[in-house]
Amino acid sequence: MTRPSWIGKTLGGRYRIDDILGQGGMSAVYKAFDPNLRRVVAIKLIHSHLAGDPKFLARFEEEAAAVAQLRHPNIVQVFDFNHDDDLYYMVQEFVAGETLQERLRRLTKSGRHMQLSEAIGYIMNICDATGYAHNRGLVHRDIKPANIMIDIHGQAILMDFGIVKIMGGEKHTATGAVVGTALYLAPEAIRGETPDARSDQYSLGITLFEAVSGRPPYEADSAMTLMMMHLNDPLPDLLQLRPDVPANLAAVIEKSLAKRREDRYASMAEFASALRAVQASLGSAAPAATQLDQTGQPGSQTVPETSIPAPASWQPSPSEPVGRPASPPTMPPAPSQKPTTAGRIPPAASSAGQGLPVPGAASSSNTSYSAPSPAAPPRPLPKWAFWAGIGGIGGIMLLAVIGILFALRGMGAARSTPVAPAATIAPTATQAVQAVLPT
């Protein structure tokens, strides 16, 4: 099948093929329009050469019917499955977004890691989806970043349920695996054993390892080498690839990637519960930073909190709300507090924990946050003080008048007292002088 062979044509007398979304060795995915329900759909066309397998039709109908019964928000919905002559196809829900593989490639290209809380959140979505399917007897068998869509709401959605079994891949061996699948293949599947729910867990654990570290744990040029590494090589030290990974997250990933399936978590629900505990221990994460991609559009590349150094200095604009700066401005006193100096809080009311300045303390910040506060304007004189002053002046004047009256009365009394004649007083004084002078 050549790339443009179906674009512009109608499939099954109903679906108009508009564009190609992806193509692989066994199938191609097209974007199409369903005029009956007036909605955009995704159609997976299975290459015609596979129809030569006599068991293929029965396998396709059985597995496609089972997958179409799945109703979960984190699983791509299958609407229809049919065939047009020897071309078999599945009509699926169209999910706008990008695959986890595409997201990780963009992050790696820019030298960044996905935030831990974001990576854990995506894997918990897939745990819920696969756990729901496992309870209904369906194993995915091909979990990998390329089969996980990240929609525009930030939810991880699992695609291609049952495709591996439909294609006849229930017995993956060294001769049947390709490199893309071998990166995530469980050891028991490599040995030819029947995959189960814990095999999906292993593939999801590899996906989580890659989402956290930026690379899968095992890498090689051939599928055979990769499968031997899954069977025999120890898991690389995740903390050396990304030192900020908490120990409890590394332990959860290590358990999900145990070589023996009996040593992994018993179910996807148990795996999700362990991840949920790690998520809770991370606490509240800072908002993810967004970087413009090469087209100038906001991308989804998130910056770990530890990757951005704090700026040397910071000048907020007057209209910008601020939190708790290193050198806060002088704050006016509260209504119940009386300032001891113009515009400053007394030392007893100052608290370093409240971000208020301590008088006389030197600032350790090298930022010029604000100029000194101007002196407070004089407060207007209260009315009671004005009338008190008038009353005081009146009282002083009254006391002065009373004093003058008493003084005048005393002078009148002195004038009415009789005075002895001068002749009588003089001899007495002369006699006193003579008494003390020598004769």
**Out of 18, 85, 142, 233, which one is annotated catalytic?**
142
Residue that has been written with the tokens 């090298």 in this structure: 366
Ramachandran category for residue 141: left, alpha or beta (phi over 0 → left; psi -120 to 50 → alpha): left
12 in Cβ contact with 84 (< 8 Å) = yes
Give catalytic status of residue 233 as yes or no.
no
Q: For the CA atoms of the chain, what is the radius of gyration?
A: 46
150 in Cβ contact with 156 (< 8 Å) = yes
20 in Cβ contact with 28 (< 8 Å) = yes
Residue 135 DSSP code: T
Give the three-state DSSP class for 287: coil
d(CA 76, CA 70) in angstroms, rounded, equals 9
Closest CA to 26 of 221, 163, 190, 186: 163
89 in Cβ contact with 44 (< 8 Å) = yes
Sheet holding 10-11, edge to edge: 10-11, 15-23, 27-34, 39-46, 87-93, 78-84
d(CA 126, CA 148) in angstroms, rounded, equals 8
d(CA 181, CA 282) in angstroms, rounded, equals 32
Residues 6+ apart with CB under 8 A from 74: 125, 126, 128, 129, 155, 156, 157, 158
Q: Are strands 78-84 and 148-151 parallel, antiparallel or unpaired?
A: unpaired
Give the burial class of 331: count Cβ atoms within 10 A of its Cβ; 0-12 exposed, 13-18 middle, 19 or more buried. Answer: middle
Closest CA to 64 of 48, 49, 46: 46
d(CA 329, CA 171) in angstroms, rounded, equals 71
- Backbone φ and ψ for 298, nearest 5 degrees, come out as -60, 125
* Helices and strands, counts by H and E, the chain: 13, 9
Chain centroid to Cα 335, Å, comes to 38
211 in Cβ contact with 104 (< 8 Å) = yes
d(CA 328, CA 76) in angstroms, rounded, equals 53
Catalytic residues: 142
